[in-house]
């Protein structure tokens, strides 16, 4: 595995490859990341993983500071997976140039997480746009846990006619049902049990009822142990419009807190 901290050196290295398969991460690698990387390695392209905790997508400084970081562990995982390239840029390396494309931010960026985390999605799209400019990957692997993020990146790529294909990957879950996330490292055993109860509750009610009032759901989830709920909404995953029924084309989107740890999921 070759490690690069400078974008120009990275570009010189990958210039003559047949193409790059790209897996962007913020580190704190878990089973979800590993699944993306393994799927990437099945392509005939070289696999490039980035680790960059992007300050511009955090709406609270304390959240950026407390975000799980364990580079030593991450490097060991990536070496074992035989990743071809690792990009470890500095903030300056990412933000000291003007990208070719202007960020396209779909109006959906103001809903769900965008409504509660001001500046989050502009920050996400900003950094993704820069990575695409630097690496020019043929394929970009992203998970469905961050469904809104996936949708917005896809819209940006289509709108700006960027020659990169997004490969959508299913959400990977722990044995207790909780979606894999770097933030899970900040949960204690009690919190993990609560998160598991919330997932199984949502999964159960989705197939048991055609419609449930979101406000009633909030009350039930608070009873299960959540400290706070930003939102719980039903959306059609094809049209990405609010829905009043629950079926295979609709999902329950949720963002809630266990103490100071914010978790998102869609079921």
Question: What is the three-class DSSP state of 235?
Answer: strand
Q: Angle, to 10 degrees, between the axis of helix 147-159 and the axis of helix 120-135? A: 50
Q: Which of 30, 33, 120, 156 is catalytic?
A: 33
Q: Give catalytic status of residue 200 as yes or no.
A: no
Write down the number of H helices and E strands in the chain.
10, 10
Pairing of strands 46-51, 20-25: parallel
- d(Cα 87, Cα 11) in Å, to the nearest integer? 11
CB atoms within 10 A of CB 237: 16
Report how far apart, in Å, the C-alpha atoms of 238 and of each of 209, 211, 256 are: 21, 19, 24
| CA atoms within a 13 Å half-sphere pointing along the CA-CB vector of 83 | 29
Question: What one-character DSSP code corresponds to residue 119?
Answer: T
- d(Cα 46, Cα 137) in Å, to the nearest integer? 10
Sign of CA dihedral 239, 242, 246, 252: positive
- d(Cα 44, Cα 233) in Å, to the nearest integer? 39
Q: Closest by alpha carbon to 21, among 7, 42, 52?
A: 42
The distance of Cα 130 from the centroid of its chain, to the nearest Å, equals 17
| Residues assigned a catalytic role | 33
């Amino acid at each position: 595995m070759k490690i690069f901290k400078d974008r120009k050196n990275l570009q010189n290295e990958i210039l003559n490859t047949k193409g790059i398969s790209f897996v962007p991460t913020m580190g704190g690698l878990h089973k979800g990341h590993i699944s993306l990387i393994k799927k990437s390695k099945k392509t005939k392209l070289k696999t490039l993983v980035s680790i960059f905790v992007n300050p511009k997508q955090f709406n609270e400084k304390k959240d950026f500071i407390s975000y799980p970081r364990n580079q030593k562990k991450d490097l060991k995982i990536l070496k074992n997976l035989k990743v071809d390239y690792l990009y470890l840029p500095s903030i300056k390396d990412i933000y000291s140039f003007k990208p070719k494309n202007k960020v396209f931010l779909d109006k959906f960026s103001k809903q769900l997480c965008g409504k509660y985390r001001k500046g989050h999605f502009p920050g996400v799209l900003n950094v993704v746009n820069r990575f695409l400019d630097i690496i020019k990957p043929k394929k970009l692997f992203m998970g469905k846990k961050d469904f809104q993020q996936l949708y917005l990146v896809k819209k940006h790529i289509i709108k700006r006619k960027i020659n990169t294909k997004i490969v959508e990957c299913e959400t990977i879950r722990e044995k207790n049902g909780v979606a894999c996330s770097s933030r899970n490292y900040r949960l204690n055993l009690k919190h993990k049990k609560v998160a598991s109860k919330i997932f199984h509750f949502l999964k159960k009610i989705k197939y048991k009822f055609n419609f449930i009032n979101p406000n009633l759901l909030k009350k039930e989830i608070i009873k299960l142990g959540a400290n706070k709920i930003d939102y719980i909404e039903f959306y059609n995953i094809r049209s990405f419009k609010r829905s009043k029924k629950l079926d295979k084309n609709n999902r329950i989107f949720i963002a809630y807190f266990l103490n100071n740890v914010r978790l998102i999921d869609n079921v």
